[in-house]
């Protein structure tokens, strides 16, 4: 049964509210995660508590329990001079920046207009209600190393830190 500190292997299909597929993990290439480790969105993780192998479930996750609400102040236009002169800037590029509270946060370059660069610190799925179809493939106890690292390593992964 799925519970804290179990490694869960599952296949899933993620759709938006229009029914368009956003992501998928098939049975032959499933997702493996440490339950209770914060490795998947909280709304999905909470909905999987207590499921067993071969269980299937439809889960709707609101933005607050998914990738958060869309925050307009995380979308900004900045001057090219804010980036190191020797760095090539391209749409789709991600970089880390410091927020006013001192925390580091990832931003994506979404548009370039001459010396003005539009960046967005929101997750691409922020503000969206997510619809997951999941099937539980396997559940096992986490290894001591996985518990220490806070995530699943997978069979024979040769996981390095």
Q: For residue range 21-37, list pLDDT tens digits in order.
A: 999 998 789 999 999 99
The domain containing residue 13 runs over which residues?
A: 6-67+125-149
For residue 155, tell me if it sits in a domain. Answer: no
pLDDT digits (tens, 9 = 90+) for 76-120: 999 988 888 888 899 999 888 887 788 888 899 999 999 999 999
Whether residues 79 and 10 fall in one domain:
no
For 41, 72, 124, 161, the CA distances from 33, given in Å and listed in that order, are 11, 31, 21, 17
Q: Which is more confident, 156 or 54?
A: 54
Q: What is the pLDDT of residue 96?
A: 86
Whether residues 116 and 133 fall in one domain:
no
- Indicate yes or no: pTM above 0.85: no
For residue 97, tell me if it sits in a domain. Answer: yes
- 116 C-beta neighbours (distance < 10 Å), count: 11
Whether residues 61 and 97 fall in one domain:
no
């Amino acid at each position: 049964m799925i519970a804290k500190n179990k490694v869960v292997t599952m296949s899933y299909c993620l759709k938006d509210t229009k029914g368009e597929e956003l992501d998928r993990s098939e049975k032959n290439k499933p997702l493996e995660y440490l339950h209770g480790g914060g490795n998947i969105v909280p709304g999905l993780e909470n909905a999987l508590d207590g499921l067993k192998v071969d269980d299937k479930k439809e889960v709707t996750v609101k933005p607050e329990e998914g990738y958060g609400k869309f925050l307009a102040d995380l979308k900004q236009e900045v001057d090219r001079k804010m980036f190191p002169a020797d760095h090539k800037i391209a749409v789709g590029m991600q970089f880390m920046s410091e927020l006013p509270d001192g925390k580091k946060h990832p931003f994506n370059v979404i548009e370039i207009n001459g010396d003005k660069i539009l960046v967005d610190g929101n997750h691409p799925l922020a503000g969206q209600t997510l619809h997951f179809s999941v099937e539980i493939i396997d559940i096992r106890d986490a290894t001591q190393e996985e518990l220490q690292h806070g995530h699943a390593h997978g069979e024979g992964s040769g996981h390095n830190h």
